[in-house]
């Protein structure tokens, strides 16, 4: 049994914890040590008590011997579950389970060097684990880099290793992603086609374009968020689906994502009619209604929310069936921004409407469209004033 231990101040908030396990066959003390961060001696002694418990339970692993796979389990339980949103953690675990563990799992954490990381990232450009041809996209490779950096950052903070090997590897470059959007004429054509489609899909598409809402924000809308009399939508939540857990209604991405959006009158009237239709459906469903405490705007006939994959799946099928120009579902939100830009709406208003953290984000994403609109404005000024200038010469 462990039984006793001590703490030693190493300076700069660092404390060395020592647990004695008795003596070996030669009469020498057997000790387990680790270094932790603590604000004061009281906090250090609390961590010592936890350390003693780990050692007594046989759960302590010497950092110099800790394998990557074992550390990831510690990272997940002691950091990720507390600091990451559930969906974010689920997304992180995909490359961890399918890529990182097969690649690094058997290695001691301190043996993973920058060149291992660099060679791994290079390999992703050529091969992938889902049996599709080619390598991963630049965005996916950068995502792998970000997750690895997070894991090794915790390892350095916890003094399991001295240096983060990922920090010495150049972050993979992300090619400027081309944003496809619809013109005003194309949106009008699209709306005409939507008149022949189920009303809920019709409205989902229109909310993405007219209000600039994200997919999860649309599916997370409840009727209490919509004030039809004042033409406003309060965007507060995003709906996610977690494997093994089910639906999860979370607060939107950032504080700036919580916003109020004014919608056009035609959309108000369509939502009003749809709300009346949904009330009838709820009455018809009677005891089969499973909407629970939430009064979602978009549900199946029995009140269950739509899976997050539904809008994108329906959208691709609609495009294939109608032969309409394809853009990604998320690009409908980009279309919302460019329509406003072309109408001369100030970038600050667009930024707030889309729920961006600041106007800089808006300009980084849509700067090309702002410049195009600026050039068109200059051309219009030429058209108005150039004849007068020529006459005066």
350 C-beta neighbours (distance < 10 Å), count: 22
Give yes or no for residue 225 having a pLDDT over 80: yes
Give yes or no for residue 384 having a pLDDT over 90: no
Written as six digits, the tokens of 109 are 């954490």
Residue (of 76, 43, 90, 52) closest to 154 by Cα position: 76
The b/e string for 273-303 (b: 16+ C-beta within 10 A; e otherwise) is ebeeebeeebeebeeebebeebebbbbbeeb
136 C-beta neighbours (distance < 10 Å), count: 23
Rounded CA separation 267/297 (Å) = 14
Give yes or no for residue 391 having a pLDDT over 60: no
Length of the chain measured in residues: 393
Q: What's the whole-number mean pLDDT along residues 151-158?
A: 93
Please name the helix (run of DSSP H) or strand (run of DSSP E) that holds residue 147, with its range, or none: helix 138-157
Please name the helix (run of DSSP H) or strand (run of DSSP E) that holds residue 342, with its range, or none: helix 331-342
Report phi then psi at 247, rounded to 5. Answer: -75, 145
pLDDT band at 378 (very low <50, low <70, confident <90, very high): low
Residues 238-248 pLDDT 10s = 999 888 888 88
pLDDT band at 366 (very low <50, low <70, confident <90, very high): low
349 C-beta neighbours (distance < 10 Å), count: 12
When mean pLDDT is compared across 17-26, 179-188, 359-368, the lowest value belongs to: 359-368
Give yes or no for residue 2 having a pLDDT over 50: no
Q: Considering the domain 68-168 in this protein, what is its CATH number?
A: 1.10.150.130
Written as six digits, the tokens of 215 are 């997919």
Residues 230-277 pLDDT 10s = 999 999 999 998 888 888 888 876 777 889 999 999 999 999 999 999
Decide the pairing of beta strands 14-23 and 226-227. Answer: unpaired
- Higher pLDDT among residues 107 and 162, named by residue: 107
What is the CATH T-level fold of the domain 184-373, as seen in this structure?
hpI Integrase; Chain A (1.10.443)
pLDDT, position 364:
66
Give yes or no for residue 35 having a pLDDT over 50: yes
Whether the full predicted model's pTM is greater than 0.85, yes or no, is no
Report phi then psi at 106, rounded to 5. Answer: -80, -10
Are residues 308 and 219 in contact, defined by beta-carbon separation less than 8 angstroms?
Answer: yes
By CB neighbour count within 10 A (0-12 exposed, 13-18 middle, 19+ buried), where does 101 fall? Answer: middle
pLDDT, position 368:
66
pLDDT, position 1:
44
For 166, residues 6+ apart whose C-beta sits below 8 A from its C-beta are 114, 117, 145, 148, 149, 152, 153
Rounded CA separation 20/36 (Å) = 17
For 101, residues 6+ apart whose C-beta sits below 8 A from its C-beta are 68, 69, 72
For 145, residues 6+ apart whose C-beta sits below 8 A from its C-beta are 121, 166, 169, 171, 172
Give yes or no for residue 61 having a pLDDT over 80: no
pLDDT band at 315 (very low <50, low <70, confident <90, very high): very high
Rounded CA separation 263/234 (Å) = 11
Are residues 122 and 136 in contact, defined by beta-carbon separation less than 8 angstroms?
Answer: no
Give yes or no for residue 106 having a pLDDT over 50: yes
Rounded CA separation 143/239 (Å) = 22
The full set of domain ranges for the chain reads 4-60, 68-168, 184-373
pLDDT, position 23:
73
Residues 73-101 pLDDT 10s = 999 999 999 999 888 999 999 999 999 99
Q: Which residue has the tokens 């507390």?
A: 82
Are residues 109 and 155 in contact, defined by beta-carbon separation less than 8 angstroms?
Answer: yes
Q: What's the whole-number mean pLDDT along residues 152-165?
A: 90
**Residues paired with residue 299 on neighbouring β-strands, in sequence order:** 305
Query: Of all residues in the chain, what percent carry a pLDDT higher than 70?
Result: 86
Judged by phi (left if over 0) then psi (alpha if -120 to 50, else beta), residue 12 lies in left
Summary mean pLDDT of the chain: 86
pLDDT, position 40:
93
Answer positive or negative: Cα dihedral of 313, 315, 318, 324.
Answer: negative
Residues 118-135 pLDDT 10s = 999 999 998 877 667 778
pLDDT band at 354 (very low <50, low <70, confident <90, very high): confident
């Amino acid at each position: 049994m462990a039984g006793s231990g001590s703490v030693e101040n190493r300076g700069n908030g660092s404390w060395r914890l020592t647990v004695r396990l008795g003596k070996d066959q030669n009469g020498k003390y057997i000790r387990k040590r680790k270094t932790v961060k603590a604000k004061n001696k009281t906090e250090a002694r609390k961590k010592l008590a936890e350390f003693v418990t780990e050692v007594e339970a046989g759960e302590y692993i010497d950092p110099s011997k800790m394998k990557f796979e074992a550390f990831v389990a510690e990272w997940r339980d002691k950091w990720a579950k507390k600091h990451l949103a559930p969906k974010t953690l689920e997304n992180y675990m995909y490359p961890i389970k399918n890529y990182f563990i097969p690649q690094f799992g058997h290695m001691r954490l301190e043996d993973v060097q920058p060149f291992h990381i660099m060679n791994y990232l290079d390999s992703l450009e050529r091969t992938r684990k889902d049996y599709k041809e080619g390598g991963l996209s630049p965005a996916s490779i950068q995502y792998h880099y970000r997750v690895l950096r997070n894991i090794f950052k915790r390892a350095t903070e916890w003094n399991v290793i001295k240096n983060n090997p990922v920090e010495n590897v150049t972050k993979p470059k992300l090619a400027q992603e081309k944003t496809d959007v619809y013109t005003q004429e194309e949106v009008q054509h699209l709306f005409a086609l939507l008149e022949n489609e189920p009303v809920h899909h019709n409205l989902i598409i229109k909310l993405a374009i007219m209000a600039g809402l994200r997919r999860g924000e649309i599916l997370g809308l409840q009727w209490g968020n919509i004030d039809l009399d004042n033409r406003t939508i309060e965007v507060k939540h995003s709906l996610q689906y977690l494997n093994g857990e089910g639906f999860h209604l979370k607060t939107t991405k950032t504080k700036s994502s919580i916003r109020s959006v004014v919608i056009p009158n035609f959309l108000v009237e369509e939502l009003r009619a749809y709300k009346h239709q949904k009330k009838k459906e709820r009455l018809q469903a009677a005891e089969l209604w499973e909407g629970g405490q939430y009064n979602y705007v978009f549900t199946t006939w029995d009140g269950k929310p739509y899976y997050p994959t539904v809008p994108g799946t329906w959208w691709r099928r609609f495009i294939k069936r109608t032969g309409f120009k394809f853009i990604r579902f998320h690009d409908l939100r980009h279309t919302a921004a460019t329509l406003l830009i072309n109408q001369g709406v100030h970038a600050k208003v667009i930024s707030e409407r889309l729920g961006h953290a600041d106007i800089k984000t808006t300009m980084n994403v849509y700067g090309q469209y702002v410049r195009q609109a600026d050039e068109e404005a200059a051309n219009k000024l030429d058209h108005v004033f150039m004849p007068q200038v020529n006459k005066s010469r």
